[in-house]
Structure 1
Amino acid sequence: MIPPTVRRGAGRASCHHGEILQGVFLDAGGRRCAGLVTLPMSGLGSRAEFTRRPGTPPEQLTVLPGDRTKAARAAALAVAECALRRREPPCGGELRITGDIPVGLGMGSSTSDVIAVVRAVADSYGMRLAPDTVARLAVRAELACDPLMLDARPVLFAQREGRVLEVLGPCLPPLVVVGCALGGGAPVDTLSLPVRAYDDTDVRAFERLRGLLRRAVATGDAALLGRVASASARQGQRLLGHPEFDTLADIARRLGAVGVQIAHSGAVAGLLLDPAAPGLRHRVRSCVRALESNGIAATRTFTSFLPRPASPASFPPSFPPSSPPSFPTTKEFPSGPAHRGGHRPTGPDSPRRPARLPAL
């Protein structure tokens, strides 16, 4: 039996499969800001359980695994937020995090941890925080975050500010994604990458891609989305420099993929296929064979199919009233490589190491 002074909460968050578009864009006021659009992926995620102990000092916060420093910061921030709303003093507690997202591949593992923790803390207070509040806390905890708190709706998201620049539409065009890991799945040390300066020409190019992506979402045009993702991926290669990228792009051209996408902060990548085109199963199998014959590890094949309804309460006030109340889910494509359960290496805040590729 749980003592009356103990309150428990649970939270979960999913991951993504890298970016469809990333760059520098103009906000509604004409100010430049970094932004991205992620490719949602379900199945993998982080889970958190928070046991709140009212009456204990807030610094008495224990975290398992102990090296999840970003998650620990998120827990402390969420406790302060929720306690203020409940007009209670903040307190300590115990936090336990589990998950199966490979780290270091650019799939949002640390953001997933942080969001799961914020949700668990809020649940221990009997609350559900709005997505824009979760985003604000996530940015404070890890300086930049992915839009995983928005539950897969296609948005252009300012990752360093935790705000939505634009809701692009109700859901992504249907896609089949043949996933892979470049560089053998070796983690990308994003902190060691040079900081690129963007000029007005670059911003205009990114704004053009933004407009094309908006049109692709509005019309359900998988081919146009593939063009945008490929252009963005090639831009990202100026910093990432994956040696297999040209091979990946060549496979896409030869086998009828509509484009390629990559993680701009990791090694995960994908071939994008239009499920409405003929011979889909054959093309999926051909893509997997071509990847593996070129030494690129194929991981998971999944889809971005079929929107499901979202609760109107899940939309933050900053979303325009016209935002469609639906968003895409993903599921594994049956003819692709089977998803095999794996254990997520502990410590997304510890030095990155190659993920176990079957965990994808």
Structure 2
Amino acid sequence: MIPAARRGSPGADRRGTHRRGAGHASCHHGEILQGVFLDAAGRRCAGLVTLPMSGPGSRAEFTRRPGTPPERLTVRPGDRTKAARAAALAVEECARRCGERPCGGELRVSGDIPVGLGMGSSTSDVIAVVRAVAASYGLRLPPAAVARLAVRAELACDPLMLGARPVLFAQREGRVLEVLGHRLPPLVVVGCALGGGAPVDTLSLPAPVHDDHDVRAFERLRVLLRRAVATGDAALLGRVATASARHGQRLLRHPEFDALVGIARRLGAVGVQIAHSGSVAGLLLDPAAPGLRHRVRGCVRALESDGIPTTRTFTTFPAAPGLPDPADLPNFPTTKESPSGPAHRGGHRPTGPDTPRRPARLPAL
């Protein structure tokens, strides 16, 4: 059961009025599975399962000004249009829950998620903002309410408000179609960026059309992914992710896709995953297989030899007995990144023909 909003104490002034709040949200590393699925009523829904990633994220600070009109809302940086919408919607929601009038305030957003790679940068901003506004009212909104506000703010959102729990999520409706399990199987991910890390012009892509055959294929992958999560089967998850990435090639047409799959096959990776709305990708390895460090190094060398820039190696598990220490893996980030970071250099402008096609600052990943 999802908990109701709870009162907290952050940002309280001497009179007990909550005025300031802070929020944070993480990112993801693209999708494991994305397509069209059937909900409990048999209705078709666009859905996805993301690959969680710790490290980069968005931070927001909100100071509300009781007694000011709600339209008096300032946002820094000024180009965060989705964050601004999220703040206004969250103020309206939280004021209603507290029996108060909506008011204006000041919002500041920062982060270190590169834009355009398909890592959920806009959703991370929006969720951090909603959490900051809620904290300024002394509330903690339940995930379902955060998801609903996020969809209203940006039309579609990623399931970052749900943490690392693997779910099939209807991104345009902000609802969970299925909880697949408690956690993903242990994986080591060797990250990279296709297309040199240039933003994907998602607005120029044709709208995907899925027939009954496609829906049946996605439903079969859903069943396999459910089984992979239930049994901790990294190899089966890799098969699902690769099949989903191959299906996404119909629209994305990454020229490096065959090379990526070839590297995975040669070096014993269980599969590949690719963001369906960006250029970030990963080779998926089973940490229980022998020679892990050697295989990770081989993947990094092979990617760079084929002109595919590597980003970072990360895992779906913390350090634990019986599993390798993530910090011992090659290409694993060992230094703490700057909180300000090279965040959102393009703001939330949609990528399009006029978007600068420079490579993303990949070390920031």
Q: TM-score, normalised by structure 1?
A: 0.91
What is the RMSD computed on CA atoms of the aligned residues?
A: 1.7
Q: Residue 363 of structure 2 aligns with which residue?
A: 358
Residues 48 and 95 in structure 1, CA contact (< 8 A), matched pair in contact too: yes
1:15 aligns with 2:27: yes
Alignment of 1:146-225 (within 5 A): 146-225=158-237
The 3-state SS of whatever aligns with 2:70 is: coil
Give the number of equivalent residue pairs: 338
Distance 1:73 1:350, change over 3 A: same
1:28 aligns with 2:28: no
Task: Return 5+ residue gaps in structure 1 as ranges.
Answer: 309-330
1:336 to 330, 333, 344: 330
Task: Return 5+ residue gaps in structure 2 as ranges.
Answer: 1-11
> What do the CA deviations read for 1:53-90 (whole angstroms, capped 9, x no partner)?
10000000000000000000000000000000111000
Alignment of 1:32-181 (within 5 A): 32-181=44-193
Distance (Å, rounded) in 1 between the aligned partners of 2:288 and 2:85: 45
Distance (Å, rounded) in 2 between the aligned partners of 1:138 and 1:6: 23
Distance 1:2 1:146, change over 3 A: same
Q: Which amino acid counterpart does residue 348 of structure 1 have in structure 2? A: G
Q: Residue 349 of structure 1 aligns with which residue?
A: 348
Alignment of 1:261-280 (within 5 A): 261-280=273-292
Distance (Å, rounded) in 1 between the aligned partners of 2:326 and 2:64: 37
Could you tell me how far 1:3 is from its partner in structure 2? Answer: 8.3
Q: Which amino acid counterpart does residue 289 of structure 1 have in structure 2? A: R
Could you tell me how far 1:108 is from its partner in structure 2? Answer: 0.1
Distance (Å, rounded) in 2 between the aligned partners of 1:333 and 1:258: 21
Distance (Å, rounded) in 2 between the aligned partners of 1:229 and 1:171: 16
Distance (Å, rounded) in 2 between the aligned partners of 1:252 and 1:131: 36
Distance (Å, rounded) in 2 between the aligned partners of 1:100 and 1:41: 13
Q: Residue 266 of structure 2 aligns with which residue?
A: 254
The 3-state SS of whatever aligns with 1:348 is: coil
The 3-state SS of whatever aligns with 1:278 is: coil
Could you tell me how far 1:196 is from its partner in structure 2? Answer: 1.8
Distance (Å, rounded) in 2 between the aligned partners of 1:307 and 1:93: 41
The 3-state SS of whatever aligns with 2:281 is: strand
Could you tell me how far 1:9 is from its partner in structure 2? Answer: 0.2
> What do the CA deviations read for 1:21-51 (whole angstroms, capped 9, x no partner)?
0000000000001000000001110000000
Distance (Å, rounded) in 2 between the aligned partners of 1:86 and 1:219: 44
Q: TM-score, normalised by structure 2?
A: 0.90
The 3-state SS of whatever aligns with 2:94 is: helix
Distance (Å, rounded) in 2 between the aligned partners of 1:278 and 1:36: 31
Q: Residue 297 of structure 1 aligns with which residue?
A: 309
